[in-house]
């Protein structure tokens, strides 16, 4: 057998083995990817724990995992707890709205310019029996005929997500513990495939992009949820903690926070609390302006050296194609693309 034929067969064997591994482990790829993102984002925390524990890597990995879980999982746990407390009433409301129809609130007709049209649309869709199912055609809403069915379906989906979260935290511990060996192996494979100099150029960009994205999206989003949650509490919003948790999650996505505090303002307006509704809308607008126009561009763009437009396209495009995980994958892809665009300059002037 000729040398080039042997190389081709070897490449085919390697590719087949990689594809088989991906096929076998496809159920766990998403938690593994979440664990990898968290590990890269919090790797400096692990290195600090190694120093504090006197080089005991297993103990340091355990401590870093606990801290990361507390920071990222605690808000989720609080939101789930609040949602579980409100679940029976909410389930009954959804089932009744789907089965009997949902009458439009009185304030809909008072919306300037389009109130009559919105009310007419509401009566023709949501106001009809099973109108919610027709509006969300193809979703599981069509099968939600009772509160118990709503709780069963929601609980099953929630349990599935909690298992993913638990597995991701478990993987995070092992990524910390074996991270150095894994990094050496990945660097060896990358250098073998595209050359050591080129691989080093790209490999240095990924951790910076991931950490900047996590800091700029997750931490800023959670901070928005906390600040707006304080406003909800002062304004007397029902289930303020649940709304704050929902706001924090939506605020991770660009332009997601207005959906949350806008809904809260409409809720207050429907209850007749006009001043509180205006205050929440104004407070949310101020926080959103500062976060999206000052904090996030500085944290992400300055660290990755990406234009704000490239950051925005990476985030929104990642969400559109990959879902929530695309929030972090998108900016990394854009960072690598910009690195490719300027590759010649980077290779000629490594410090630029």
pLDDT tens digits, 176-214: 999 888 889 988 888 888 888 888 888 888 888 888 888
Is 13's pLDDT higher than 80?
A: yes
Segment 335-346 mean pLDDT:
78
Whether residue 260 sits in one domain with residue 161: no
Segment 314-332 mean pLDDT:
83
Whether residue 263 sits in one domain with residue 116: no
Q: What is the pLDDT of residues 46-69, one digit of tens each?
A: 999 999 888 888 999 999 999 988
Strand ranges in the chain using DSSP code E only, listed in sequence order: none
When divided into structural domains, the chain yields a total of 2
Is 141's pLDDT higher than 60?
A: no
Segment 260-281 mean pLDDT:
85
Tell me, yes or no, whether 11 lies in a domain.
no
* Domain around 228: 194-352
Tell me, yes or no, whether 66 lies in a domain.
yes
Whether residue 229 sits in one domain with residue 108: no
Tell me, yes or no, whether 9 lies in a domain.
no
The pLDDT of residue 27: 85
Does residue 61 or residue 131 have the better pLDDT? Answer: 61
Banded model confidence at residue 89, pLDDT cuts 50, 70, 90: low
Least confident of 218-232, 240-254, 296-310: 296-310
What tokens were used for 345?
């300059």
Is 283's pLDDT higher than 90?
A: yes
Tell me, yes or no, whether 186 lies in a domain.
no
Whether residue 167 sits in one domain with residue 234: no
Whether residue 209 sits in one domain with residue 168: no
Segment 144-165 mean pLDDT:
65
The pLDDT of residue 15: 86
Whether residue 250 sits in one domain with residue 161: no
Tell me, yes or no, whether 27 lies in a domain.
yes
* Contact status, residue 305 vs residue 208, Cβ threshold 8 Å: no
Q: Is 72 exposed, middle or buried (0-12, 13-18, 19+ CB in 10 A)?
A: buried
Q: From residue 205, how far is each of 25, 223, 309 by CA, in Å?
A: 27, 26, 18
Segment 8-31 mean pLDDT:
87
Query: To the nearest whole number, what is the mean pLDDT of the chain?
Result: 79
The pLDDT of residue 142: 47
* Contact status, residue 29 vs residue 171, Cβ threshold 8 Å: no
Tell me, yes or no, whether 187 lies in a domain.
no
Whether residue 200 sits in one domain with residue 169: no
CA distance 334 to 323: 16
Segment 84-112 mean pLDDT:
67
CA distance 11 to 52: 44
Other Cβ atoms closer than 10 A to 329: 22
Whether residue 243 sits in one domain with residue 200: yes
Establish how many alpha carbons lie within 13 A of residue 195's alpha carbon, considering only the half-sphere containing its beta carbon. Answer: 4
Whether residue 166 sits in one domain with residue 36: yes
Tell me, yes or no, whether 211 lies in a domain.
yes
Segment 205-233 mean pLDDT:
86
Whether residue 313 sits in one domain with residue 253: yes
Is 90's pLDDT higher than 50?
A: yes
Banded model confidence at residue 136, pLDDT cuts 50, 70, 90: low
CA distance 171 to 178: 10
Whether residue 102 sits in one domain with residue 29: yes
Whether residue 162 sits in one domain with residue 253: no
The DSSP letter of residue 103 is P
Does residue 88 or residue 316 have the better pLDDT? Answer: 316
| Domain final residue, candidates 177, 209, 242 | 177
The string of DSSP codes covering 159-217 is: HHHHHHHHHHHHHHHHHHHTHHHHHHHHHHHHHHHH-HHHHHHHHTHHHHHHHHHIIII
Backbone angles phi, psi at 199, to 5 degrees: -65, -40
Q: Is 168 exposed, middle or buried (0-12, 13-18, 19+ CB in 10 A)?
A: buried
Segment 225-244 mean pLDDT:
86
Tell me, yes or no, whether 4 lies in a domain.
no
* Contact status, residue 20 vs residue 12, Cβ threshold 8 Å: no
Segment 313-341 mean pLDDT:
84
């Amino acid at each position: 057998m000729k040398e080039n034929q042997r190389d081709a067969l070897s490449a085919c064997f390697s590719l087949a083995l990689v594809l088989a591994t991906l096929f076998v482990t496809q159920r766990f790829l998403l938690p593994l990817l979440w664990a990898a993102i968290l590990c890269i984002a919090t790797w400096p925390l692990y290195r600090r724990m190694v120093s504090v524990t006197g080089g005991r890597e297993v103990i340091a990995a355990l401590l870093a995992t606990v801290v990361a879980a507390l920071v990222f999982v605690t808000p989720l746990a609080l939101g789930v707890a609040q949602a579980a407390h409100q679940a029976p009433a909410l389930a009954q409301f959804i089932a009744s709205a789907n089965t009997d129809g949902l009458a439009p609130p009185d304030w809909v007709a008072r919306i300037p310019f389009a109130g009559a049209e919105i009310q007419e649309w509401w009566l023709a869709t949501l106001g009809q029996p099973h109108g919610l199912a027709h509006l969300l055609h193809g979703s599981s809403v069509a099968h939600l005929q009772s509160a118990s069915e709503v709780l069963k379906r929601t609980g099953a989906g929630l349990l599935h997500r909690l298992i993913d979260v638990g597995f991701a935290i478990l993987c995070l511990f092992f990524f910390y513990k074996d991270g150095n060996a894994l990094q050496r192996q990945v660097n060896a494979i990358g250098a073998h495939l595209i050359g050591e100099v080129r691989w080093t150029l790209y490999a240095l960009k990924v951790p910076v992009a991931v950490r900047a994205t996590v800091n700029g999206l997750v931490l800023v989003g959670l901070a928005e949820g906390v600040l707006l949650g304080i406003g909800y509490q002062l304004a007397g919003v029902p289930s303020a903690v649940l709304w704050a948790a929902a706001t924090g999650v939506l605020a991770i996505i660009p332009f997601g926070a207005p959906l949350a505090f806008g809904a809260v303002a409409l809720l207050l307006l429907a209850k007749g609390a006009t001043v509180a509704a205006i205050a929440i809308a104004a407070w949310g607008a101020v926080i959103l302006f500062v976060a999206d126009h000052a904090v996030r561009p500085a944290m992400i763009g300055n660290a990755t050296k990406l234009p704000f437009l490239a950051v925005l396209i990476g985030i929104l495009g990642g969400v559109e194609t990959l879902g929530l995980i695309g929030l972090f994958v998108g900016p990394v892809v854009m960072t690598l693309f910009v690195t490719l665009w300027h590759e010649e300059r980077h290779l000629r002037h490594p410090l630029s």
